[in-house]
């Protein structure tokens, strides 16, 4: 059995240890207040919930079995290969991605969702990670080869909803720099010899008042990818929601004038230059194939073809996740029954 933790192993084990200490303290405090004859029930419920926590930790470790399949020859004459490849999506989820100037009244985010889904299909055997940003950045999907689940997650991807009135001005096109750098470095350590590809999807943070920064990834950290730009030069207003059946748009918090968000291709090309990848302006119904780079594996030779060993992995994290859900559901049912019983006792007392 092998393990591919969703986060670095040391923080994961430290967090698990802290949770176990908290549960032990909770058990002690509960037993002190428990009357005779009820110890067995209390310990059983405590054990169930504690076991659920341990199952979640096991799921986070991503246990599984790697099975070597038969080797096969892969031609490199212009064809893309996705064996031992890490694909990172860096996605702009700021209010700018709400603007509906992508195709016939579709939002920019809808174009990003479509393109991410197409890229996942292009790299069917790769590992994927998804980093989102606006004013700050965070990891929405840790590096994993579970493309099926990622497809479902991407279908629900949307711009951030809880934002300030000046969110457009606080968007930082380079906010994902540190998160991306750490994830790329971590991927290289977890998967030695792997190749990393980065796709940056955004509008260039138009109207941003954040001091400009840069992506300063180590030389050779990224083998390819692309910066994909969404929106038009004319731009459009930023939707906020609906009121009395009418769509409401964002206004300048300083003067109240409607805000207009247009693509900033200059900044997007700057990002592409810093990452060392090409820039493509995306349009509705335009296939993604033109933005998919040929990947040269780090151990590629000058031969016309090379032999790779494909690895089929049987993931077991879902088993532990399912067991944890069942135990939590049992605890919820027990809590509801206890609440109803106590409520009835309280009524009888009155």
Domains of the chain in start order, with CATH, are 2-66+314-349 (no CATH), 73-306 (3.40.50.410)
- Structure tokens of 270? 């700057």
Q: How many CB atoms lie within 10 A of CB 95?
A: 24
Quick one: average pLDDT of 182-207?
Answer: 93
Question: What per-residue confidence (pLDDT) applies to 345?
Answer: 61
Question: What per-residue confidence (pLDDT) applies to 315?
Answer: 81
Q: How far apart are the first and last CA of the chain?
A: 59
Q: What is the pTM of this model?
A: 0.66
**pLDDT confidence band for 324 (50 / 70 / 90):** very high
**pLDDT confidence band for 308 (50 / 70 / 90):** very low
Question: What per-residue confidence (pLDDT) applies to 349?
Answer: 52
| Rounded distance between C-alpha atoms, residue 92 and residue 251, angstroms | 21
Average model confidence (pLDDT) across the chain: 84
| Rounded distance between C-alpha atoms, residue 304 and residue 121, angstroms | 25
pLDDT above 90 (res 142): yes
Residue with tokens 């209390």: 42
| Rounded distance between C-alpha atoms, residue 135 and residue 92, angstroms | 10
pLDDT above 60 (res 171): yes
**pLDDT confidence band for 348 (50 / 70 / 90):** low
Q: How many CB atoms lie within 10 A of CB 184?
A: 19
Quick one: average pLDDT of 149-157?
Answer: 93
**pLDDT confidence band for 209 (50 / 70 / 90):** very high
Quick one: average pLDDT of 133-157?
Answer: 93
SS3 78: coil
**pLDDT confidence band for 73 (50 / 70 / 90):** very low
Question: What per-residue confidence (pLDDT) applies to 30?
Answer: 83
263, 280 Cβ separation under 8 angstroms: no
Q: Phi and psi for 301 in degrees, rounded to 5?
A: -105, 180
């Amino acid at each position: 059995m092998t393990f591919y933790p969703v986060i670095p192993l040391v923080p994961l084990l430290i967090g698990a240890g802290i949770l176990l200490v908290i549960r032990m303290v909770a058990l002690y405090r509960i037993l002190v207040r428990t009357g005779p004859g009820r110890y067995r029930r209390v310990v059983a419920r405590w054990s169930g919930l504690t076991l659920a926590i341990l199952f979640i930790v096991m799921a986070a470790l991503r246990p599984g079995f790697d099975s070597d399949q038969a080797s096969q020859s892969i031609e490199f004459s212009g064809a893309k290969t996705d064996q031992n490849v890490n694909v990172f999506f860096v996605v702009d989820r700021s209010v700018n991605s709400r603007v509906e100037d992508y195709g016939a009244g579709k939002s920019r985010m809808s174009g990003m969702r479509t393109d991410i889904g197409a890229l996942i299909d292009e790299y069917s055997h790769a590992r994927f990670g998804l980093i989102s940003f606006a004013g700050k950045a965070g990891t929405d999907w840790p590096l994993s080869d579970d493309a099926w689940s990622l497809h479902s997650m991407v279908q629900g991807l949307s711009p951030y909803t809880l934002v300030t009135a000046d969110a457009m001005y606080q968007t930082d096109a380079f906010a994902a720099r540190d998160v991306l750098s750490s994830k790329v470095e971590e991927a290289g350590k977890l998967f030695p010899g792997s190749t990393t590809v980065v796709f940056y999807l955004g509008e260039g943070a138009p109207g941003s008042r954040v001091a400009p920064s840069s992506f300063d990834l180590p030389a050779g950290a990224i083998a390819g990818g692309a910066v994909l730009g969404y929106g038009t030069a004319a731009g459009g207003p930023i939707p906020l929601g609906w009121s009395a059946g009418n769509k409401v748009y964002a206004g300048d918090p300083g003067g109240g004038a409607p805000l207009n968000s247009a693509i900033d291709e200059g900044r997007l090309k700057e990002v592409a230059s810093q990452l060392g990848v090409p820039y493509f302006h995306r349009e509705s119904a335009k296939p993604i194939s033109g933005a998919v780079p040929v990947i040269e594996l780090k151990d590629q030779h000058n031969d016309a073809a090379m032999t790779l060993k494909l690895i089929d992995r049987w993931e077991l994290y879902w088993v532990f996740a399912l067991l944890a859900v069942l135990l939590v559901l049992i605890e919820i049912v027990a809590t509801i029954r206890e609440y109803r019983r106590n409520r009835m006792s309280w009524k009888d007392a009155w």
